[in-house]
């Protein structure tokens, strides 16, 4: 997904009826979940329930990107808080207040309760708050290792330095090697290490291969025919280790491993709310990966087939529609791409501005829809730079000097020199 530039800018006028507040309500105040939320909201709900009830902590595969909170709260400044305790009391739900109370008591909580709180903070995207809790964790206690890994991840997200990333890797290595932890926990650490070294700043094929072998050993301890959570772990294992042949250019082996991941995913039970939720959170990245795999192998039809299924499985996640639109663009079907982008735009932040911007590019310069879609992009995200740059380019080509001059002035006003931070508006990709 291409970079979409925006400046670090805060909107001042609230929009209380924004659709993202309904779809993503738990991120704002841990309020009730919508009838059909995006799958990642279910993970947040499970994490909140674990804090409230003290029950089992479930495997959550989604963590929001570093800019996620600022994106969804851009037009609702009262909810744009740097930490849970900063949310005004009158806006807090009972569960939000409970989280604040747990944070006040954090040094005195049991390791299990501390782990539940760190899971919830990670799911909410409060990485600075999470980082600050590291001082209260007993680093030599195996029961605190998972919470320590979340703190290390939060620091890596916040600082984006090589040192912070290495610290996160070392903590995950300790979890994988800790015999006192469960097989699934150790496998999850190995899988995370594989993914970290498969893409991004830590990309390292030899290290990835080494971590794949660790995952291979851990997976031997699973009993997928007896425990559905082990079957879920098998699906995530096969999806992760497929990075090794993928990076080596081995299409056949990549496909075999993703076939195994898909088989486990499609055979998971769905009799309970938890089973359905965890199954949905697993099938989402799997279908996304399969679509990428098919496009990589040159089979755009199958890539679109998987991407289209994803929009049906998780229709309220705008990213699924954006990715489908991108594939239609690659197949030179601008009308189909536009339909997908407009579906994403209708779902609000964090993908609406990007979706409008991409929808505009399915039209020619001078087309009424082109200018209208770009205007919608800037309206959805007044800090967006890319739509303004596109307007300048388009207006220059069509000779529309007033529009060109206006867009240029707005662009310069939003980007005052090198001090303005530019970030992607696609936090979960």
Q: Per-residue pLDDT tens for 296-324?
A: 999 999 999 999 999 999 999 999 999 99
pLDDT of residue 403: 87
What b/e string do you get for 340-368 counting C-beta neighbours within 10 Å, with b at 16 or more?
A: bbbbbbebbbbbbbbbbbbbbbbbeeeee
227-275 pLDDT tens trace? 999 999 999 999 999 999 999 999 999 999 999 999 999 999 999 999 9
119 CB neighbour count, 10 Å cutoff: 25
73-88 pLDDT tens trace? 887 889 999 999 999 9
**Residue 220: burial class (beta carbons within 10 Å; 0-12, 13-18, 19+):** exposed
- Residue with the bigger pLDDT between 399 and 139: it is 399
416 pLDDT tier (thresholds 50, 70, 90): low
Least confident of 52-61, 96-105, 294-303, 319-328: 52-61
Domains of the chain: 1-11+349-429 (1.25.40), 19-164 (no CATH)
Threshold 0.85, pTM exceeds: yes
């Amino acid at each position: 997904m291409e970079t979409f530039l925006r400046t670090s800018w805060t909107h001042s006028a609230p929009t209380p009826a924004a659709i993202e507040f309904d779809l993503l309500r738990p991120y704002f105040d841990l309020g009730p979940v919508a009838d059909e939320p995006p799958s990642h909201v279910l993970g947040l709900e499970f994490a909140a329930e674990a804090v409230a009830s003290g029950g089992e902590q479930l495997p959550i595969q989604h963590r929001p990107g570093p800019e996620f909170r600022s994106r969804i709260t851009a037009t609702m400044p009262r909810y744009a808080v740097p930490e849970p305790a900063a949310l005004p009391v009158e806006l807090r739900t009972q569960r939000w207040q409970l989280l604040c109370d747990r944070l006040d008591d954090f040094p005195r909580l049991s390791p299990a309760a501390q782990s539940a709180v760190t899971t919830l903070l990670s799911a909410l995207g409060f990485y600075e708050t999470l980082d600050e809790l590291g001082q209260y964790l007993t680093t030599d206690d195996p029961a605190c290792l998972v919470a320590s890994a979340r703190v290390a991840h939060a620091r890596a997200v916040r600082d984006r330095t090589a040192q912070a990333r290495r610290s996160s890797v070392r903590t995950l290595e300790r979890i994988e090697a800790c015999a006192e932890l469960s097989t699934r926990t150790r496998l999850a650490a190995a899988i995370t290490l594989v993914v970290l070294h498969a893409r991004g700043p830590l990309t390292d094929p030899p290290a990835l291969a080494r971590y794949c072998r660790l995952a291979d050993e851990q997976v031997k301890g699973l009993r997928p025919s007896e425990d559905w959570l082990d079957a879920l772990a098998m699906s995530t294992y096969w999806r992760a280790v497929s990075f090794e042949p993928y990076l080596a250019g081995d299409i056949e082996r990549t496909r075999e491993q993703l076939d195994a991941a898909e088989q486990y995913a499609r055979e998971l039970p769905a009799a309970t709310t938890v089973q359905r939720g965890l199954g949905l959170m697993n099938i989402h990245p799997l279908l996304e990966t399969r679509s990428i795999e098919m496009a990589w192998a040159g089979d755009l039809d199958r890539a679109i087939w998987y991407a289209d299924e994803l929009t049906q499985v998780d229709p309220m996640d705008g990213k699924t529609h954006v990715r489908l639109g991108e594939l239609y663009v690659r197949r030179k079907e601008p009308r189909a791409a536009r339909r997908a982008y407009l579906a994403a735009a209708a779902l609000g932040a964090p993908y609406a501005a990007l979706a409008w911007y991409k929808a505009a590019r399915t039209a020619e310069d001078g087309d009424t829809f082109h200018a209208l879609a770009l205007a919608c992009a800037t309206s959805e995200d007044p800090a967006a730079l890319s739509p303004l740059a596109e307007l300048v380019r388009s207006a220059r080509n069509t000779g529309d000097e007033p529009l060109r001059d206006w867009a240029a002035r707005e662009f310069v006003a939003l980007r005052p020199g090198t001090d303005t931070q530019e970030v992607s508006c696609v936090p979960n990709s």
